[in-house]
Structure 1
């Protein structure tokens, strides 16, 4: 299947500090592309992969599960680690859960974590019904496009494949059990008005990780896909400053001549 316009993966070869960005469930790299561009323009090496089953049609996602999505970002992290002196991992929503598992599993190979509206649990009655319902129905309504900014749009599926949702629920349980293994510096940014992931997920993550260098920031003007919303520039700049604090000299400021 052809990839949806805008959903293509992105890579940029920059300096010795690398950043891996992980998009969300039923979403695509498009939701993080402005963030990736911002970092690339400042001299960082950037990888923004397309997760298996994403970016084409929701039916393709029915054939994938969390092991596939995690394997993709794990592979990308290993590639970055081979060519970069330090690697940071960023994630949105389910991408936040992928990010946290990478941090838990790879230890010192991950220098820091930035997560935006990270998901930790499948909520509601549907969560408990998934083991059975997924055999009775193929999909339910989608969760894309939760954006406050007028005209903001996310390239994602308008349906949630239920087999994949069941796998996601299993993945969240696994990651939750591994959160105490996360010791890296963490910047967590979340929206009080999020119609996809409740604030309880961020609170749960902060209460479970073992990191001592933790910054929590509220994105008051944005909904779930905050990387495409009113607070996007703040996310981009705060994450770049976070890298600069932990990897002095990382990247370089965009040249004034290029519109900086």
Structure 2
């Protein structure tokens, strides 16, 4: 299936500092594209891959699982590590969980992480029914467009394949067990009003990671897809400052623009 217009992966060749961005469950690179371009304009090397089964139609996602999604961001990280001196990983929602696992598995190779409304658990009574329900019902209502800003739109599926949701649940439980292995500097930004991932997920993550350099920022004006919402510029600026603090050469514009 062809990729939906706007959902394409994005890459920008910049300087010696790289950033990998991980999008969310049933979403696409479109939700992080403005963030990626903001970083690229400031000279960073940026990689924003499209997760398998995403950005086309929900039927394609039905035959994928967490191992496929994680393998793609792991591949993208390893590629960045071959061309950059230092690499950071950023993630939104499930992309935050992917980020945390990359940090747990790759250790010091990941210089720091930024999480926006990261997912830690599939909530609700229906979550416990997923192992059985996925064999009886193919899909449920989609999760996209939880945005406060009028006119903003997230390019995501309007249906959630239950096989994929079951795989997500298993993945989030796996990542929760690995959180103590996360030691990197951490910037976590989350929305008190989030209709997809409750604030308790962020609290759980902050309580279980082993990182000592930690900063938490509340996004008071935004819902779940905060990277397309009222607080987007703050996310972009705070994350760039975070990278600049840990990789001081970033404060001087790295590299020249070569397009993405």
Q: Which residue of 2 aligns with 1:220?
A: 220
Q: Name the SS of the counterpart of 1:87 in structure 2.
A: strand
TM normalised by structure 1 equals 0.97
Distance of 1:157 and 1:126 partners within structure 2: 19
Q: Which residue of 2 aligns with 1:257?
A: none
Distance of 2:156 and 2:109 partners within structure 1: 31
Q: CA deviation at 1:251?
A: 6.2
Q: Which residue of 1 aligns with 2:107?
A: 107
Q: Structure 2: where are the runs of 5+ without partners?
A: 255-260
- Asked if structure 2 preserves the Cα contact closer than 8 Å seen for 1:146 and 1:223, the reply is yes
4+ residue stretches of structure 1 with deviation over 6 A? none
Distance of 2:229 and 2:252 partners within structure 1: 25
Give runs of aligned pairs for residues 23-172 of structure 1, distance below 5 A. 23-172=23-172
Q: CA deviation at 1:18?
A: 0.0
Q: CA deviation at 1:250?
A: 1.6
Distance of 1:219 and 1:199 partners within structure 2: 11
Q: CA RMSD in A?
A: 0.9
Distance of 2:13 and 2:201 partners within structure 1: 34
Q: CA deviation at 1:179?
A: 0.2
Within the alignment, does 1:181 sit opposite 2:169 as a pair? no
| Number of residues of Structure 1 aligned to a counterpart in Structure 2 | 254
Q: Which residue of 1 aligns with 2:257?
A: none
Q: CA deviation at 1:47?
A: 0.1
Q: Which residue of 2 aligns with 1:4?
A: 4
Distance of 1:125 and 1:152 partners within structure 2: 30
CA deviations 1:162-212 (Å, max 9, x no partner) are 000000000000000000000000000000000000000000000000000
Q: CA deviation at 1:225?
A: 0.1
Q: Which residue of 2 aligns with 1:199?
A: 199
Distance 1:127 1:244, change over 3 A: same
Q: Which residue of 2 aligns with 1:234?
A: 234
TM normalised by structure 2 equals 0.97
CA deviations 1:206-236 (Å, max 9, x no partner) are 0000000000000000000000000000000
- Asked if structure 2 preserves the Cα contact closer than 8 Å seen for 1:44 and 1:251, the reply is no
Distance of 1:2 and 1:146 partners within structure 2: 25
Distance of 1:45 and 1:238 partners within structure 2: 18
Q: CA deviation at 1:253?
A: 4.5
Q: Structure 1: where are the runs of 5+ without partners?
A: 255-260
